[in-house]
């Protein structure tokens, strides 16, 4: 499922980022990737509980985690004025 051509060179130059990627992969996401040219890592989980468990496992001592969720239904439309 996809890939990022920057992963090999970035992980080669930034072993700490490689270690964090491996730690992220160990949380069993559906998908984990380097995002863009190396500014972030992303992971997709089946449920919010899986995501939150992974966040607890990884911790935020050495990195910042941003948790997001997708909607299961369309957003409500604004009320007519």
The answer for residues whose C-beta is within 8 angstroms of residue 35's C-beta and 6 or more apart is 4, 41, 42
Reduced to 3 states (helix: H, G, I; strand: E, B; else coil), residue 16 is helix
Res 51: pLDDT: 95
Rg of the chain in Å (alpha carbons): 16
Taking the model in full, what pTM does it have? 0.79
Res 36: pLDDT: 80
Reduced to 3 states (helix: H, G, I; strand: E, B; else coil), residue 65 is coil
Res 1: pLDDT: 56
Res 81: pLDDT: 57
Q: For the chain, which residues score pLDDT lower than 50?
A: none
∠ CA 3-25-12 to the nearest 5 degrees? 60
């Amino acid at each position: 499922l996809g890939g990022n051509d920057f992963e090999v060179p970035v992980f080669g130059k930034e072993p700490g980022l490689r270690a964090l990627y491996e730690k992220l992969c160990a949380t069993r996401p559906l998908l984990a990737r380097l995002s863009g040219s190396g500014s972030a890592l992303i992971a997709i989980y089946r449920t919010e509980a899986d995501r939150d468990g992974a966040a607890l496992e990884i911790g935020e001592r050495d990195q910042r985690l941003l948790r997001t969720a997708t909607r299961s239904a369309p957003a409500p439309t604004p009320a007519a004025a």
